[in-house]
Amino acid sequence: MAINVIIKDPQWNEIWQFTAENGKNIAELAAMHGIDIPVSCGAGVCGVCLCKVEQWNDAVKADAFNSPLMPLKSDENWNPEEILTCIAGFNPEKFDDWQDHTVILQRTY
């Protein structure tokens, strides 16, 4: 099924929605859909692309494309509450799930 992504700005205003595709990092997906998430190093080092995960954090995989080189918040089940969108993606099994998922991310910059 689908993973629907809602992006909010730092003031919690919803600024965009898109349906995710598997195999791309979240910053790439956002850019493909016209959403500007700042990216600098592209490798999980600088933190410029940091986003907070507000909902459905078990569909988000913080280390999908690389291991973050800075501490990030997670919940008691180790689901991410913060991600670096240049290296984060979605759990592949959620694309094959029987239900749709809505992931809400908040841009920090």
* Residues of the shown chain interacting with ligand FES in the complex, contacts defined by CB under 6 A: 39-42, 44-49, 84, 86
**Which phi and psi angles does 85 have, rounded to 5°?**
-65, -15
Which residue, 2 or 47, is less far from ligand FES as judged by CB?
A: 47
CB of 22 to ligand FES, least distance (A): 20
Task: Give the Å distances, CA to CA, from 2 to 11, 33, 51, 67, 95.
Answer: 27, 16, 21, 25, 6
Is there a contact between 98 and 1 (Cβ–Cβ < 8 Å)? yes
CB of 106 to ligand FES, least distance (A): 15
Which residue, 2 or 48, is less far from ligand FES as judged by CB?
A: 48
Which residue, 2 or 24, is less far from ligand FES as judged by CB?
A: 24
Is there a contact between 19 and 26 (Cβ–Cβ < 8 Å)? no
CB of 69 to ligand FES, least distance (A): 8
Which residue, 6 or 48, is less far from ligand FES as judged by CB?
A: 48
Look at residues 107, 108, 109, 85 and name the one whose alpha carbon lies nearest to residue 20.
Answer: 85
